């Protein structure tokens, strides 16, 4: 266990102005507070916060963060209170410890819904002070190092959470060495057999690998020295998890891997990086497609380097990363390294860095990403959506694309033009109708590649399709699409609700206005007029309830319903029995009071009955379905009997066809045809040649001589449908054709 003076020396080695007295007080206080507590390993419990603090000294964090690490379990596991921490160590450290305590209380190892909600709280907590995240990552690292002492039933769950959440978070914060170790430790628990197999193979090859490393380091170092470039060349053997991931991704065996060794070349300047690259490529043959420039196009976590792969000495494939010392520190220590080169860091060389309290935002890609994730929390997504989107953001490689004006847009690999549009601006995504990729028109679902120049074509009349949500890759795009489709749906329902309530008030002979409705919103349990109208449109709030709320003395006058005669059976009889004015649903009388129906792409949330559909020319009735809007039925549909006891859900509707933008409508037919080869082809030919569209065919009966099928069609109107039926009846292979519900 590290001694008190050793911890102080570690901090002062990189922060000479650190508060040694503060560090000493925290060490003694934490040791006494934890007293005789022990860990699962049998070690004194105090060894854990001490090891966490040691990890953070490797990141060269400020003394306040080191003290918070020493104290991070005191409020949770001892008699210590927040007030006592504030009094003894100051409110800054008190808040850090309190933030870590709240995070510790969150059980991320739980079922998905609970984990999602806890992850939201976790991200909110760490966003207030990024040092909380750094302490938490160090805490998790030490726990993973000692995971073998944890009961076996818990190990896998903890390892999965580490692989899913903490390792990617470390990577997103740019702390690559910590991510590598967390992944390696998790991999050992989650797939122990694979871990042992790869580790064993690496052990057998280690002597050979070391000779190759020494040979390449000498050859490469010599080449650079001859050209006057001072460089440090470091070879390393890849970790077991990195090798396993490559084997899985490329579907190759261990023996087929040729790049188990990687090299880093550290030089003095950016100019030397590119000079070094030129020397390497003129000395050894480069592998096509393996060069990446992360200096001119940094990753979102501020990682910068030149990557290349060459065929080196003895025809070995060699991976190289070329970077400056500053780039190397940021690559290894990520967000914790910024204070070494900026005055706005949270870690600093002692307490003098930045403003000393860790709240000054680090203007790095890693911190900007963290703020964006927190914005997703505040935008009201469900916990499950947040978990999904956060994991999408955590796990991805990047592609870099450009706007026509040269703005760089970084996207996850596999992203498409929809993701690009929303990355530029939410309004651009919501109004996108197409795109040009490198000057060529492409569909919005086109996958983008490094270096693509993308121009998004927009129209103010456009709204995003709900289907885009399943196509988009980024969490930002999915969230924006979901919000836009919800808003559009709400607007549709509100428009429908306004028509329903206006007609209800007209029939009752009572005046209606939004101002009157606003006055009774509390009685209707609705927050706004728009919400009330949308609830009416969805069928969740009956229009008669609104009438009664505005006019408590109003009594609905309706004739008692009597059983209809056989002649009056169906929709006509029901309407007459309800005492409502008869109107020809086909619109023969003009239908001034009826709601106009334009089709499934109109401004109202309309759908058509699954059995039979409806087409212009049919007499129709609308049924208000709670949560779904209007369902359109032909008046002869037997399904309407289901709604006999719900007269408040019946709506007067009429066709309102846009002649300039014709639209097909759904219908179903039952066809009985001869069972012989080519029958289906002849039927499809008749339908296709006459301008109808087949949506679905289902065989429902078959005999040696005949078979029956239902065909779902899309036709322009009733005349078009009848023409199709007549032509099918005239076909030799067809025995009979009837319209379903016709």
What's phi and psi for 261, nearest 5 deg? -110, 135
Helix (H/G/I), strand (E/B), else coil: 367? helix
CA 480/CA 455 separation, integer angstroms: 19
Please write the tens of the pLDDT for every residue from 131-174: 888 898 999 999 999 999 888 888 888 898 888 778 888 887 77
Q: Is the pLDDT of residue 436 over 90?
A: yes
Q: Is the pLDDT of residue 126 over 90?
A: no
What's the confidence (pLDDT) of residue 486?
A: 81
Q: Reduced to 3 DSSP states, what percent helix, strand and coil does the chain have, rounded to the nearest 5? A: 50, 15, 35
User: What are the tokens at 394?
Assistant: 């955590």
CA 381/CA 477 separation, integer angstroms: 13
Q: Is the pLDDT of residue 363 over 60?
A: no
Q: What count of Cα atoms within 13 Å lies in the side-chain half-sphere of residue 622?
A: 25
Q: What is the DSSP letter of 287?
A: P
What's phi and psi for 549, nearest 5 deg? -70, -40
Residues assigned a catalytic role: 76-77
CA 134/CA 128 separation, integer angstroms: 12
Q: Is the pLDDT of residue 345 over 50?
A: no
Q: Is the pLDDT of residue 538 over 60?
A: yes
* Per-residue burial over 180-205, b = 16 or more CB atoms within 10 Å of its CB, e = otherwise: bbbbbbbbbbbbeebbeebeebbeee
User: What are the tokens at 73?
Assistant: 């379990």
Rounded to the nearest 10°, the torsion over CA 442, 443, 444, 447 is -70
What's the confidence (pLDDT) of residue 552?
A: 85
H or E element that contains 41: none
Q: Which range, of 117-121, 288-292, 454-458, 517-521, averages the lowest pLDDT?
A: 117-121
What's the confidence (pLDDT) of residue 603?
A: 57
Pick from 86, 61, 85, 16: which is nearest to 354 by CA? 61
Beta carbons of 255 and 205 less than 8 angstroms apart: no
Please write the tens of the pLDDT for every residue from 37-94: 998 888 899 999 999 999 999 888 889 999 999 999 998 888 999 999 999 999 989 9
C-beta atoms surrounding 352 within 10 Å: 13
pLDDT bin (cut points 50, 70, 90) of residue 551 is confident
* Per-residue burial over 462-489, b = 16 or more CB atoms within 10 Å of its CB, e = otherwise: eebeeebbebbbbbbbbbbbbbbbeebb
Strand boundaries in 346-406, DSSP class E: 398-402
pLDDT bin (cut points 50, 70, 90) of residue 342 is very low
CA 236/CA 223 separation, integer angstroms: 19
* Per-residue burial over 258-272, b = 16 or more CB atoms within 10 Å of its CB, e = otherwise: eebbbbbbbbeebeb
Q: Is the pLDDT of residue 532 over 50?
A: yes
pTM over 0.85: no
CA 595/CA 52 separation, integer angstroms: 68
Residue 103's contacts (CB-CB under 8 Å, 6 or more residues apart) are 121, 122, 125, 126, 132, 136
Pairing label, strands 653-655, 595-597: parallel
Domains of the chain by range and CATH?
Answer: 4-190 (1.10.3210.10), 193-340 (3.30.460.10), 485-550 (no CATH), 571-655 (no CATH), 665-739 (3.30.70.260)
Q: Which range, of 155-164, 204-213, 353-362, averages the lowest pLDDT?
A: 353-362
Give the whole-number percent of the chain exceeding pLDDT 70: 81
Pick from 329, 322, 319: which is nearest to 174 by CA? 329
Beta carbons of 390 and 124 less than 8 angstroms apart: no
pLDDT bin (cut points 50, 70, 90) of residue 449 is confident
pLDDT bin (cut points 50, 70, 90) of residue 396 is low
């Amino acid at each position: 266990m590290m001694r008190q003076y050793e911890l102080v020396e570690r901090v002062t080695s990189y922060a000479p102005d650190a508060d040694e007295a503060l560090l000493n007080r925290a060490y003694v206080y934490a040791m006494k507070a934890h007293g005789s507590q022990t860990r699962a390993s049998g070690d004194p419990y105090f060894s854990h916060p001490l090891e966490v603090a040691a990890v953070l000294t490797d990141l060269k964090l400020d003394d306040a963060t080191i003290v918070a690490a020493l104290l991070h379990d005191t409020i949770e596991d001892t008699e210590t209170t927040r007030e006592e921490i504030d009094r003894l160590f100051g409110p800054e450290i008190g808040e850090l410890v309190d933030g870590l305590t709240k995070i510790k209380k969150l059980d991320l190892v739980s079922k998905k819904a609970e984990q999602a909600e806890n992850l939201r709280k976790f991200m909110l907590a760490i966003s207030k002070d990024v040092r909380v995240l750094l302490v938490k990552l160090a805490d998790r690292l030490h726990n993973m190092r000692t995971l073998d002492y944890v009961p076996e039933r818990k190990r896998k769950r903890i390892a999965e959470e580490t692989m899913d959440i903490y390792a990617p978070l470390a990577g997103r914060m740019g702390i690559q060495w910590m991510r590598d170790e967390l992944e390696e430790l998790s991999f050992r628990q989650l797939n122990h057999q694979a871990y042992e197999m790869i580790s064993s193979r690496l052990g057998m090859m280690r002597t050979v690998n070391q000779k190759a490393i020494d040979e390449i380091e000498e050859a490469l170092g010599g080449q650079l020295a001859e050209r006057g470039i001072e460089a440090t060349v470091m070879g390393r053997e890849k970790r077991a998890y990195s090798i396993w991931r490559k084997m899985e991704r490329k579907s190759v065996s261990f023996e087929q891997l040729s790049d188990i060794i990687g090299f880093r070349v550290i030089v003095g300047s950016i100019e030397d990086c590119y000079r070094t690259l030129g020397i390497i490529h003129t000395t050894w043959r480069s592998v096509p497609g393996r060069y990446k420039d992360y200096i001119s196009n940094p990753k979102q976590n501020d990682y910068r380097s030149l990557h290349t792969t060459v065929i080196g000495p003895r025809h070995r494939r060699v991976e190289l990363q070329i970077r400056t010392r500053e780039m190397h520190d940021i690559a290894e220590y990520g967000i914790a390294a910024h204070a070494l080169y900026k005055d706005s860091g949270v870690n600093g060389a002692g307490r003098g860095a930045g403003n000393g309290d860790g709240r000054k935002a680090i203007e790095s890609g890693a911190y900007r990403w963290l703020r964006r994730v927190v914005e997703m929390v505040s935008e009201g997504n469900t916990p499950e959506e947040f978990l999904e989107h956060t994991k999408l953001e955590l796990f991805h490689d990047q592609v870099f694309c450009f706007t026509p004006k040269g703005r760089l847009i970084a996207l996850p690999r596999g992203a498409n033009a929809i993701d690009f549009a929303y990355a530029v601006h939410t309004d651009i995504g919501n109004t996108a109708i197409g795109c040009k990729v490198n000057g060529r028109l492409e569909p919005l679902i086109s996958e983008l590649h490094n270096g693509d120049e993308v121009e998004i074509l927009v129209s103010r009349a456009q709204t995003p399709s709900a289907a885009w949500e399943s196509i988009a890759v980024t969490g930002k795009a999915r969230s924006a699409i979901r919000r836009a489709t919800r808003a559009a749906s709400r607007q549709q329902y509100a428009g429908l609700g306004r028509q329903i309530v206006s007609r209800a008030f007209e029939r009752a002979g009572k005046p209606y206005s939004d101002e009157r409705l606003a006055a009774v919103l509390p009685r209707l349990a609705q927050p706004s007029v728009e919400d009330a109208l949308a609830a009416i449109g969805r069928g969740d709030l009956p229009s008669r309830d609104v009438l009664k709320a505005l006019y408590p003395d109003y009594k609905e006058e309706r004739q008692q319903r009597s059983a209809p005669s056989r002649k009056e059976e169906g929709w006509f009889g029901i309407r007459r029995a309800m005492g409502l004015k008869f109107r020809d649903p086909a619109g023969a009388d003009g239908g001034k009071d009826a709601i106009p129906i334009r089709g499934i792409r109109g401004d109202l949330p309309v759908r058509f009955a699954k059995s039979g559909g409806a087409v212009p020319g049919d007499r129709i009735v609308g049924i208000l379905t709670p949560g779904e809007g209007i369902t359109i039925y032909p008046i002869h549909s037997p399904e309407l009997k289901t709604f006999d006891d719900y007269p408040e859900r019946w709506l007067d509707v009429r066709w309102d066809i846009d002649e300039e933008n014709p639209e097909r409508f759904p219908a179903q037919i039952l066809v009985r045809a001869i069972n012989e080869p080519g029958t289906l082809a002849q039927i499809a030919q008749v339908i296709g040649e006459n301008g109808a569209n087949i949506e679905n065919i289902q065989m429902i009966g078959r005999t040696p001589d005949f078979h029956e099928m239902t065909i779902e069609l899309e036709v322009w109107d009733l005349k078009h449908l009848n023409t199709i039926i007549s032509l099918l009846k005239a076909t030799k292979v067809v025995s009979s054709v009837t319209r379903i519900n016709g």
